[in-house]
Amino acid sequence: MMINETFVASTPKGAYEQAVDKYGTQDLNIVSAKQLRYDDGELRAEVVIAVPKELFMARSFGEAARMKPKAVSEEEELLGEIGELKAQLDQMQEEMKSEIIGVTPHTSVSEEIKALFMKKGISQVWLDKILSSLVGTPLVEDANLLVSYLLEEIDETLEVREEELTRQKMIMLVGPTGVGKTTTIAKLAARYAYLLDRPYKVALINLDSYKVGAIEQLAHYADIMQIEHFAVATPDDFKARVEALEGYDIILVDTAGMSPYDTQKFIKTVEFVNSETARELEVHLTLSATVKYEDMDDIYQNFSFLNLDAIIISKFDETRHLGGLLNFMLLYKLPMSYFSTGQEVPDDLRVASKEYLLERFIGDVHEG
């Protein structure tokens, strides 16, 4: 006879670990795993484990209770029957699901979930690394629990760079052509100058002498916001201009958009990055949320030479599928600083958060 026992924690992984601590992995069968929002507003995970009655009595009431002959109460019989019935219903539901989506009976749960996450953009390399550590555990036999576990692993891997404005700094935006660096610079300038707890003194420097109209576009934003704006052509001029802006809280630097194969622009940008100035420099790679898997390695390998501090993610409004972007973050482990969610200046900019990114990705997974 089997007894069902429910374990509750803030995450499915935590609830499952409670069950393992009590019973070990032998004879441990997962009946269900789900997340529920309790009356206090908190989201908690409930994992129901089915264990033999004899083992349940021994772990719950001590060895004496297991050895002592005792008549089975009606309540215990009812609990056992309910557990068995629920397990049968869950099995029927899984079989119906398999028929609907065309999964053969020989396809394992872990293979199904792996295929789903790969379809949504997560690389096989990362998934194999995580799933290999779960072989032989009940996690790989429960789809809901496995999805929750993978999402938790993604959450733990992602990093966020907190917004810190207590000291003078200079932020340089670099990135591929067409990712929206200039518009993002304008949003950051408006945020720092007008939208925070106090107005920060902001100046803009433009290093992009390649793109037609680039200087004029940033100058237009600067005029509207009444912020100082300067175009600089050489590393020496850049150093002199930064020193002249000593009294400013934040200097924002716009650079030329570069393809990963544009060696000349990279060399010139490296010269600016390596300029010896007294001002602290942060280099933020601006990356589109629509980034393609095939381009990831080229982008990272080339821009990593600029000693990247963080990533600003743009164009959230141009895609519903964020698996490719998440895959980039998982593989290269760079902290996120800001999200650009549309074209409006300054409204469509937010400080980066794991919650926002994962909510968007989870919605896409659920559609799958």
pLDDT at 343: 85
DSSP track, 212-263: TTHHHHHHHHHHHHT-EEEE--SHHHHHHHHHHTTT-SEEEEE-----TT-H
Q: Which amino acid is at 65?
A: A
- For 169-367, which CATH class? alpha beta
Quick one: tokens of 31? 């009946």
Q: What is the pLDDT of residue 136?
A: 82
- Residue-level pLDDT at 366: 59
Amino acid 25: pLDDT = 65
CA distance 200 to 188: 11
The pTM of this model reads 0.67
What integer pLDDT is reported at residue 58 of this predicted model? 74
pLDDT of 349 reads 94
CA–CA separation, 93 vs 80, rounded Å? 20
Sheet holding 2-9, edge to edge: 2-9, 43-52, 29-37
Q: Which amino acid type is present at position 267?
A: I
Which pLDDT score, from 0 to 100, does residue 177 have? 85
| Distance from C-alpha of 146 to C-alpha of 172, rounded to nearest angstrom | 40
Q: How far is CA 47 from the centre of its chain?
A: 25
| pLDDT on residue 100 | 42
Tokens representing 58? 């021994």
Q: Which helix (H) or strand (E) holds 7?
A: strand 2-9
| Structure confidence at residue 292 (pLDDT) | 84
Domain chopping of the chain, boundaries = 2-157, 169-367
Give pLDDT < 70 ranges for the chain: 25-28, 37-41, 60-107, 208-215, 259-268, 364-368
- What H or E segment, with its residue span, contains residue 36? strand 29-37
